[in-house]
Amino acid sequence: MAGAAVLDRPEVASLDKARAFVASRHQLFIGGRWVEPLDGARFATHDPASGAELAQVAEAREADADAAVAAARRAMENSEWTDMKPAARARLLNRLADALEANADEFAALETLDNGMPVRDARFFHLAHAIEVLRYNAGWATKLNGETIALSGMGTWHAYTVREPVGVVAQIVPWNAPLAMAVAKIAPALAAGCAVILKPAEETPLTALRLAHLVAEIGFPDGVFNLLTGFGETAGAALTAHPGVDKVTFTGSTEVGRLILRAAAANFKRVTLELGGKTPVIVLPDADPARAIEGAARAIFTNAGQVCNAGSRLFVHERHFDQVVEGVARIAEGMKLGSGFDADTQMGPVISDIQRDRVRGYVRQGIEAGATLRAGGRAVDDSGFFVAPAVLTGTDPTMSVRREEIFGPVLCAMSFADVDLDRIAAEANATEYGLGAVIWTNDLSAAHRLARTLKAGTVRVNGGGLDPALPFGGFKQSGWGRENGREGIDAYTETKAVAMAL
Ligand code: ADP
């Protein structure tokens, strides 16, 4: 059986469980109950490794969005939730983390069936991260304090602030890290005392569905967590325009982010947006080329490049340029593509045929415009949605492959001659995006100076990954606001100022 190669004995049982779950009847989770969509619609999802139909899923439309918003609003008026002590909210989140941990192998198998990622990554990165995010945010539930404020007006005052939950939150997530993104959204919202309506991507609804079963078992009050599976243009758009929704948090494309912002304007919803990126990776002359090669390859090829802050533009000092490009190209050419369940798979498929053709199209356009393909020319199995990881040199800033977010394993490599940090930063900043930046150097002064001048929400020096404590978000067209850390939970609260004349 596929999967047995990676998953040892207890985990084979998990794969069987995941398959049984995939085949079960999926519904919407609204107001603490599993319900059919009002018009009975369903849609199919596909296994990206084979293209075959995977599951039939309930399709929420406008009327179901109305029902979910009504249920969430009732939860925000129900003292069982609104008066729940912070420590009790923390316990619920910790219980959810424990439940996720207890079922982590099954969730990992489910994520790989649905998204295609190597099951090892699903288990040891996506699941591990989701569990940590729940525990981290559980910790915040008991620490959402206001301040006392010293006032200067005439008279004597006692003034203070309190942080209240923002209310009903619609949370719309993409397909590249389905569970990790869903949990990154629900954990701080629930810790802050909000009620949520989660809409996973239509391509990858399965781990969110399984998560809703855990939520139901753990005993959150009815309507605190609701799940709508369905399409962006219908269920998603209905939520973002809904007058009963107080806040929208979204991770996805910049284009859809703009639509969401417009829809949210009607009732001035609070909005947090995590959008696209075109992250620069900068290798200074003092860097160890071997580490830079490994880091640069990881930055662009992880998750088949379907990462918002994938390091898609590589700037290397000319001293190391040939060596680094050859090194990354060698890794790309040697990468084993295949099912996420095969033990030796290093890169899974991309999410869909549309995405595969889009990514290949960018590479083709780059070559037609004069770029040189240094890796990525090999043929790959076309029964699934595979893309050969590609490395291009000789691009220029007008080319789409260099300018636009590709969301695939495609790297543009450029060299620079002088160590003029302002010029390097200016080139790295020459993009409408500003999500991440990576620097490889041991020169402290250069690292800190670049960190100051790079216009990016996250600057990493010599590696480093995601952490629930580290704020994550974008400058410029990469988004609004931050997730994770103190800022991430604050974004689910409103500040109320209370001033009392004594
Ligand atoms: P991608 O381009 O990476 O597929 P999208 O930004 O299109 O990402 O989708 C991310 C999420 O946004 C998905 O859950 C999708 O259903 C949802 N979505 C797409 N269009 C809209 C829309 N107009 N309104 C609300 N949500 C949408």
Note the pLDDT tens digit of each residue in 26-73.
999 999 999 999 999 999 999 999 999 999 999 999 999 999 999 999
pLDDT of 3 strictly over 80: no
> What is the CA(67)–ligand 1 centre distance, in A?
21
Pairwise CA distance, residues 192 & 215, whole Å: 17
Q: 350 CB less than 6 Å from ligand 1? A: no
Q: 234 CB less than 6 Å from ligand 1? A: no
Q: 174 CB less than 6 Å from ligand 1? A: yes
What pLDDT band is residue 1 in, cutting at 50, 70 and 90? very low
Q: Are 337 and 378 in contact (CB under 8 A)?
A: no
pLDDT in tens, 191-232: 999 999 999 999 999 999 999 999 999 999 999 999 999 999
Q: Is 217 a catalytic residue?
A: no
Q: Which of 85, 123, 89 is nearest to 104 (CA)?
A: 123
Q: Are 179 and 56 in contact (CB under 8 A)?
A: no
Look at the alpha carbons of 347, 352, 355, 356 in this order and tell me if their dihedral is positive or negative: positive
Q: Which pLDDT belongs to residue 380? A: 87
What pLDDT band is residue 11 in, cutting at 50, 70 and 90? low
pLDDT of 385 strictly over 90: yes
pLDDT in tens, 404-427: 999 999 999 999 998 999 999 999
Q: What angle do CA 25, 208, 194 make, to 5 degrees?
A: 125
Residue labelled with tokens 């179901």: 64
Q: 185 CB less than 6 Å from ligand 1? A: no
pLDDT of 4 strictly over 60: no
Amino acid at 377: G
Q: Which of 421, 374, 420, 424 is nearest to 401 (CA)?
A: 374
**3-state DSSP helix/strand/coil % of the chain, to nearest 5:** 40, 20, 35
For ligand 1, atom 2, the nearest C-alpha belongs to 253
Tokens of 126: 């996506």
Pairwise CA distance, residues 228 & 168, whole Å: 14
Pairwise CA distance, residues 408 & 278, whole Å: 11
Q: 253 CB less than 6 Å from ligand 1? A: yes
Higher local confidence (pLDDT), 464 or 230:
230
Phi-psi region of 425 (alpha: psi -120 to 50; beta: other; left: phi over 0): alpha
> Where is 72: in which H helix or E strand?
helix 62-75
**423: how many CB neighbours lie within 10 A of its CB?**
12
Pairwise CA distance, residues 464 & 304, whole Å: 18
Q: Which one is catalytic: 203, 274, 405, 483?
A: 274
Question: Average of pLDDT values for 486-490?
Answer: 98
Q: Are 342 and 2 in contact (CB under 8 A)?
A: yes
**Strand 372-375 to strand 313-317: parallel, antiparallel, or no bridges (unpaired)?**
unpaired
Q: What angle do CA 89, 222, 19 make, to 5 degrees?
A: 95
For ligand 1, atom 17, the nearest C-alpha belongs to 232
Beta-ladder partners of 248: 170, 271
pLDDT in tens, 305-348: 999 999 999 999 999 999 999 999 999 999 999 999 999 999 99
> What is the CA(248)–ligand 1 centre distance, in A?
13
Q: Which of 463, 433, 479 is nearest to 287 (CA)?
A: 463
For ligand 1, atom 21, the nearest C-alpha belongs to 232
Q: Which of 227, 187, 180 is nearest to 488 (CA)?
A: 187
pLDDT in tens, 291-308: 999 999 999 999 999 999
Q: 277 CB less than 6 Å from ligand 1? A: no
Pairwise CA distance, residues 158 & 179, whole Å: 45
Q: Is 274 a catalytic residue?
A: yes
Question: Average of pLDDT values for 105-116?
Answer: 97
Which of ligand 1's atoms lies nearest the C-alpha of 257?
A: 6
Q: Which of 483, 499, 501 is nearest to 491 (CA)?
A: 483
For ligand 1, atom 19, the nearest C-alpha belongs to 232
**Any idea how long the chain is?**
502
